[in-house]
A and B are shown apart, each in its own frame.
Chain A
C-alpha cells in the first residue's frame, strides 16, 4: 500500500451517467473493483453499467463504513471495532427503510461488484421481508407477475400438501438466522 499523504482517488460512473469520486481504499472494498485496480486501470472512469446512481450512493456508503472499521482495526483499543451484536444492529440500521425495488437493485449491485458483506445484508433483508408471507403478498411487494394458470396452482398446492419438513434427516442450517 502506498502511504502517500495525497490519497489516491478513483472515479466510478453509474449506469445513468453520474460520476462518483471515492478513495481507492473505499473502492477496493468491492472485490471486482479491487481486481480491476490491481490490474491498473489508471485514471479512467470505471463504468458500473448495471448500477444506478442512487444505488451506487448506498453501496459507497457501505464501503466507506467498512474502510472506517478496518483502517484502525490493527491498533489495539480500536474505538470503531464492533462486537457481533453491534455489527448486526448496524447492518439492520443500514438496511432500514430500503424498499423492495431498491433492495433488488442493491443485491444485483453487490453481486456484480462482489461485496460479500453487503450481499449478506441484502439477502437477510430479503428473507425477513418475504418470510411468512403468502405468494400473492410477495408478488404485490415486488411487482411479480403470476405466471401460473389456476390449474397449475391447484396442482402444485396438491403436491405441496404431500411434503412435510420435519424430516429426521433434515439438518438445520446453522448459518441462517
Chain B
C-alpha cells in the first residue's frame, strides 16, 4: 500500500512546512504529488542563475511556483549575458502565476535598463521591495510603475555611470515633474562624484524614512534636491562615504528634524562630526560610529550634552577618545542607555576605573559589547558587571585577557543573561564555560568554539535548549 496516498494535502503540506527548507526540496522529489504541493506552498525562492540560463528556462521554473512572495535571482558567477531578457522572462512568468503575490524581488544578474524595470512594474504592481544590481542608464522614473514600493536599493551604481557617459544625456530627467513615490527605505551604492541624474529621484522621494548610502562620492544632484528628500528622515546610514559624509551630516542636522538613528562607518571629519553632534535633532536615540578617525573627547561631551535620550551607543575602533571622555558619558546617559558597545577602543583598557564608573551610572544597561579589547582584565569588568544586573546580552569576542574567574562574576551579577558571545577568548577555558552554562538560569544562546564545550556542557545545553553558535 502506498502510505502517502492516505495523507491528505493538508497533512503533506504540514510535513513539508516543518522540514528545514533544504530538506523539503529533496523530500518533494519522492513523487509528483509531493513535488506539486511543495512548489505550491513555497513563498520564498532564490535562484542562482547558471551562465547558460535562458529566458525560457527561467519562466519554466518560475511558472511552477504559484505562491511566490519573495524571489531572488542571483548570478552563479559572472553576470548573465542578457540580464534584460532574463528580467522580462521573470516579469512574464510572475505576471502569469503570481499576479498579486510577489512582494519582494531581488535581481542581481547584472545591470538592467530602466525600460525593463518599467515593464516589470507593470506585471507586478504590488511589489513592496525591489533590489537591483545596477542600472544600464541613470533614470529612475520607472519607479512610478511600482505604486506600493516601500524599499528600493541599487547595489552598485558605478556600472551605470560608465554606460551613461557613453551616450545618454545627463540630467534629462530634470524636466519631468516630481512624482510622489511611496519609498520609505532607499539604499544606494557607488554614486560617483559630480554625477547627475538623481534630481528627479530626490524630488520624488517625499516619504523617505531611512537612507543608506555606501561608497558614494556625491548625491547625484550636486546636493540641489537632496535636502528636500531627507526632511522626514528617521534613520541615516553612511558607509565609506568619506568625501560627502560632512556635507550630508550638515544637511541632515539642518533638515532632518526627527532623525532618531545615525550609523557612520568610515567618514566624517573632526569639525563635521562636531557640527552634527552639537546641532542634530535631540530625538537621536541611536549612534553607531566605526572608525571615525577624528572622534575626540569634545565630541563625546557634545553627545552627552545634546542627546539625553540615547538608548544605543556604539563606538568601534576609536583611538583618540580618552577614558575620561568616556567616563563623562555615564552620568549623562544613565537614564536611557540600554545598549553600549565599545569595540576595540584603547581607552577601555588604558583607563583604570572607567568600566566600574560606567557600570555604576548605566544601571539600565541591557546589552554590552566590549569585543576586541585584548588587554581587558577580569577585575575591571567584574567591577562593572557588579552594577549591571539587568544585562541580557554580553559580547566579549576576542578579549584575550579575560579568564575563567570572570565567568563566576558574570554568573553572580547577571542573573538575567540570555545571550553571550565568548569566541576567541584565549583565557577562558573548558571549566569556565561549563560553570557559566550550568549556572546561568536564563541563557538561551552561547557563541563559543565547539572545542571549549565539555560533554557535560553540551548535554546541559541540549537539555535546556540553549543554542550554541
Determine if A98 is an interface residue (Cβ-Cβ < 8 Å): no
Cross-chain contact A123 with B44 (CB below 8 angstroms) = no
Q: Which residue of A lies closest to B45 (CB)?
A: A163
Q: Which of A101, A132, A146 contacts B1 (CB 8 A)?
A: A101
Q: Which residue of B lies closest to A169 (CB)?
A: B70
Known: A100-B3, A101-B1, A142-B4. A167 touches B31 (CB 8 A): no
Determine if A75 is an interface residue (Cβ-Cβ < 8 Å): no
Cross-chain contact B46 with A147 (CB below 8 angstroms) = no
B4 CB contacts on chain A under 8 angstroms: 104, 142, 144
CA distance A130 to B16 in the complex (A): 10
Binary flags per residue of A146-177, CB closer than 8 Å to B gives 1, else 0: 11100001001001111111111110010111
User: Separation in Å of the B236 CB from the closest CB of chain A?
Assistant: 22
B32 CB contacts on chain A under 8 angstroms: 147-148
**Chain B positions 1-48 with a Cβ under 8 Å from a chain A Cβ:** 1-4, 6-8, 10-11, 14-15, 17-23, 25-27, 29-32, 35, 44-48
Determine if B50 is an interface residue (Cβ-Cβ < 8 Å): yes
Q: Which residue of B lies closest to A112 (CB)?
A: B8
Determine if A1 is an interface residue (Cβ-Cβ < 8 Å): no
Q: How many residues from B make CB contacts under 8 Å with A? A: 41
A169 CB contacts on chain B under 8 angstroms: 44, 70, 72, 104, 106
Q: Which residue of B lies closest to A84 (CB)?
A: B465
A159 CB contacts on chain B under 8 angstroms: 60-61
User: Separation in Å of the A44 CB from the closest CB of chain B?
Assistant: 27
CA distance A132 to B21 in the complex (A): 11
A147 CB contacts on chain B under 8 angstroms: 31-32
Binary flags per residue of A91-107, CB closer than 8 Å to B gives 1, else 0: 00000000011011101
User: Separation in Å of the B212 CB from the closest CB of chain A?
Assistant: 15
Q: Which residues of A contact B (CB under 8 A)?
A: 85, 100-101, 103-105, 107-108, 111, 123-124, 126-127, 130-135, 138-139, 142-148, 153, 156, 159-170, 173, 175-177
Can you list 17 A-B pairs with a CB-CB distance of less than 8 A? A104-B6, A105-B6, A108-B8, A111-B10, A111-B11, A123-B18, A131-B19, A144-B3, A147-B32, A159-B60, A162-B50, A162-B61, A163-B45, A163-B48, A165-B25, A167-B46, A176-B17
Ordered nearest first, which 6 A-B pairs have the shortest CB separation? A104-B3, A135-B29, A167-B46, A165-B21, A142-B3, A176-B18
